[in-house]
Structure 1
């Protein structure tokens, strides 16, 4: 009888331990998810070289896409990105119109639509979406660089330079940094 009780007790203790560990992993995973973007931005700002910065940049982009409130919305954004890659800008825009309507607090939905609007030449609408992205995620270097590209296209050079400097402040190895004009006597 004691052997059976010990067996069941060990079995129950094992289940309790497994449940505890599962809760601990879930809790620390949630905490890590909340701070991981901050950690990634800190790592990006302090990246020792461009190669490391590109790896971190990729992780940030993945985090932005992963932040979709539901798996379905994430799939819609990815679908729109595939459509964009196939030059189906109108199809991508229609999908992203639904995404931002359904998830107005999801920055990447707005950012992806801003990009489509830019590609369609609707710069003012793109700037409105970029403004929303930056309200939700002020460190969105993709939105900042897109905003700068629009300003350059519109001939608003000073504003473009300021925006690019803001973007480079977030992401020192941003590809568009080559568009910065160095003031005389200042090393960027």
Structure 2
């Protein structure tokens, strides 16, 4: 039989290791919220635009909040207001500051990509979108944004791929079928 002392030291060692791992484990960030899986599954099987719209709002609400960090959430709110008011330089600077503090926060990358798109910085926007997709492959907003960049660049095939990917995730995106159809028609016209 083993003495209690070695067992107790093993338990203490295990608990110390577990506490260290927990201390360095990232908190559930926006895109890792377990509720998202159910929301995306429901979005795929939604029977109405109204239901899909409600699910989309829930998804965006989760994506836009960073759990357990109210300072980051206040910064996000301010940066979004700046973006909506057309203060793009200020908004980009604030989203960049958020990204430097929380590089795993996909929605901060997405919002900066949006600002960069508005500013005509397609390369910067596309780079941010790639980071968003790495962090949250289901980000239909980022994929749609990539589609817009590809259209602006004249890469209709790339745009079509991006929009189709967004549609597979969210079949209720506004006008997505029309956009895909028009891109398909334009590509057929080029092939003639």
TM-score normalised to the size of structure 1?
Answer: 0.77
Aligned partner of 1:85 in structure 2 is: 84
**CA–CA separation in structure 2 for the residues paired with 1:151 and 1:121:** 13
- Equivalenced residue count is 153
Q: Which runs of 5+ in 1 are unaligned?
A: 1-29
Q: CA deviation at 1:35?
A: 2.4
Larger Cα Rg: Structure 1 or Structure 2? 1
Displacement over 6 Å in runs of 4+: none
Q: Which runs of 5+ in 2 are unaligned?
A: 1-27, 186-192
Within 5 Å, which residues of 2 pair with 1:130-145? 130-145=129-144
Within 5 Å, which residues of 2 pair with 1:84-103? 84-103=83-102
CA RMSD of aligned residues (A): 1.8
SS of the aligned residue for 1:181 comes to helix
Aligned partner of 1:167 in structure 2 is: 166
TM-score normalised to the size of structure 2?
Answer: 0.75
1:52-103 Cα shifts (integer Å, max 9, x gaps): 1111000000000123561111111111110111110111011011011111
State which drifts further: 72-81 or 128-137: 72-81
Aligned partner of 2:71 in structure 1 is: 72
Contact 1:114 1:125 survives alignment (8 Å)? yes
Contact 2:95 2:112 survives alignment (8 Å)? yes
